[in-house]
């Protein structure tokens, strides 16, 4: 193997895979290291994607089908990584050492652990689930926490994001539209159920998002309540009692639900934290990596030969992630040729 053409990609999610595909096409030796047991990251665990309801599997299959010739290691961590002469020397947890001229960090995100917002009762009350749990339910059709025919279902937006108390003040960006998408989907599954969304404000910034939001109200009858949920409890019938504030009417409200879905936000991954320490990469207050230039070149780090793609630099949609992966691949190509 010609070490001069080695590129190490850390993270086998959408950003890492798309960058790997592009760099492989340019004849580099691409090695993807993924800590979990599968490629695709969160995409592999999701059912459908906003705003059009495209199957996540369809997108993942496209990525995997194009991943020809790319070497990858699953269930593998980076034990250490440091700069040796002009190359990065990475020792993997499987004992393999890689000497790569460029490293692309695509370490992604972790969903905020909903149990940390203890007042919402995730893991304590039987019928409280997360957005990821709901996607798994849509995919597999099984979750004992979802009752057979729920009559009232609620969604709490911004769980672990825009929340100073929990230490995450950043907006998670994709949860609003995900909640609207999931609310419509659950209404399709349980047409007789009343569905409530408790939101701070709805950030429908992307193409087609606002249309989905209007559709949710007009066609699906989803009720959007502007206000935070303060606490969740369970009554003697095992139903959930939700206390919230309706800031538009200026009144506290209480709703009884059969299912509550917590929209866990995008949080910095523990893998990124570890990498940041090993490579002394600078981070912003929100914990995500700091780009060299946040307007003009988000894919550049403050270290020579280290590049970023995807949500390791903050919450992003999938289209944005793919664009950034391609842009990072191009930047790496230029760097490899220049050196």
Partner 1 sequence: MIYEGKKKIWSDYQKDIPDDHFFYVRSCIRQSFFPASEQKFLEICNQRLDKDFFETEKHTSCGGIAFHSDAIPIETSLVIYARQFSLMNEFGYKNFVCSCITSFGLYCEALEMWREHPDLEAKTREILWDTCKREFTKPEYLVHTSDMIYKYRKQIAALAKYKLINNKTGKALKVVEHIGCHYNKIFPSKSVGGAEYPYVLAGMIESWGGEIIDYPERRHCCGFGFRQYLVKADRGYSLSNTHKKFESMEPYHPDFIIANCPGCTYFMDRWQYVISEMEHKAYGEYGYGIPVLTYEEVAGLVMGYNPWDLGLQMHQVNCEPLLDKMGIEYKAKDKYKGLNNKNIGKPALTPYLK
Cα–chain-centroid distance for residue 120? 21
Q: Which is nearer to partner 1, 123 or 208 (CB)?
A: 123
Binding partner 1 (rule: CB under 8 A), the pick from 124, 214, 248, 334 is 124
Q: With contact defined as beta carbons under 8 Å apart, do 282 and 289 qualify? A: yes
Does 143 contact partner 1 by CB under 8 A? no
Element (H, E) at 208: none
Q: Which is nearer to partner 1, 44 or 241 (CB)?
A: 241
Integer Cα distance of 183 and 239 in angstroms: 19
Q: With contact defined as beta carbons under 8 Å apart, do 256 and 152 qualify? A: yes
Binding partner 1 (rule: CB under 8 A), the pick from 144, 192, 235, 337 is 235
Binding partner 1 (rule: CB under 8 A), the pick from 91, 99, 110, 125 is 125
Mode of pairing for the β-strands spanning 71-73 and 29-33: parallel
Element (H, E) at 133: helix 131-140
Q: Which is nearer to partner 1, 221 or 252 (CB)?
A: 252
Residue 168: CB minimum distance to partner 1, A: 18
User: Starting at the edge strand that comes first in sequence, how are the strands of the sheet with 78-84 ordered?
Assistant: 78-84, 87-92, 97-100
Binding partner 1 (rule: CB under 8 A), the pick from 115, 143, 245, 273 is 115
Stretch that binds partner 1, among 9-17, 124-132, 156-164, 285-293 (CB under 8 A): 124-132
Does 119 contact partner 1 by CB under 8 A? yes
Does 169 contact partner 1 by CB under 8 A? no
Instruction: Using alpha carbons, list the distances in angstroms from residue 17 to 4, 75, 290, 324.
Output: 21, 16, 22, 12
Stretch that binds partner 1, among 64-72, 111-119, 147-155, 295-303 (CB under 8 A): 111-119
Does 253 contact partner 1 by CB under 8 A? no
Stretch that binds partner 1, among 95-103, 121-129, 261-269, 329-337 (CB under 8 A): 121-129
With CA atoms as reference, report the closest residue to 101 among 12, 14, 30.
30
- Site residues for partner 1 per CB under 8 A: 115, 118-119, 121-126, 231, 233-236, 241
């Amino acid at each position: 193997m010609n070490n001069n053409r080695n590129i190490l990609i850390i993270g086998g999610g959408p950003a890492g895979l798309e960058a790997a595909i592009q760099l492989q096409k340019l004849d580099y030796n691409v090695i993807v290291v993924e800590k979990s047991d599968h490629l695709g990251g969160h995409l592999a665990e999701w059912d459908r994607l906003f705003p059009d309801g495209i199957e996540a599997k369809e997108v993942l299959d496209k990525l995997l089908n194009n991943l020809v010739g790319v070497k990858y290691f699953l269930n593998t961590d980076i034990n250490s990584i440091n700069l040796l002469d002009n190359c990065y020397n990475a020792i993997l947890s499987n004992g393999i050492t890689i000497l790569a001229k460029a490293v692309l960090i695509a370490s992604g995100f972790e969903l905020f652990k909903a149990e940390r917002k203890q007042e919402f009762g995730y893991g304590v009350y039987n019928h409280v689930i997360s957005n990821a749990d709901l996607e798994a339910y849509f995919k597999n059709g099984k979750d004992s926490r979802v009752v057979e025919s729920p009559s009232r279902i609620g969604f709490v937006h911004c769980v672990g994001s825009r929340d100073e108390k929990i230490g995450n003040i950043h907006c998670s960006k994709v949860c609003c539209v995900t909640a609207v998408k999931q609310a419509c989907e659950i209404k399709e599954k349980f047409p007789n159920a009343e569905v409530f969304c408790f939101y701070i404000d709805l950030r429908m910034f992307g193409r087609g998002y606002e249309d989905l939001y209007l559709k949710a109200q007009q066609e699906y009858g989803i009720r959007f309540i502007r206000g935070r949920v303060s606490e969740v409890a369970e009554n003697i019938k095992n139903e959930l009692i939700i206390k919230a504030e309706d800031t538009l009417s200026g009144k506290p409200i209480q709703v009884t639900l059969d299912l509550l879905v917590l929209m866990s936000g995008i949080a910095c991954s523990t893998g990124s934290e570890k990498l940041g320490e090993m490579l002394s990469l600078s981070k912003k207050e929100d914990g995500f990596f700091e780009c060299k230039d946040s307007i003009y070149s988000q894919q550049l780090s403050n270290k020579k030969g280290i590049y970023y793609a995807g949500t390791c630099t903050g919450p992003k949609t999938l289209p944005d992630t793919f664009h950034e992966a391609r842009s990072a691949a191009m930047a790496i190509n230029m760097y490899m040729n220049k050196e």
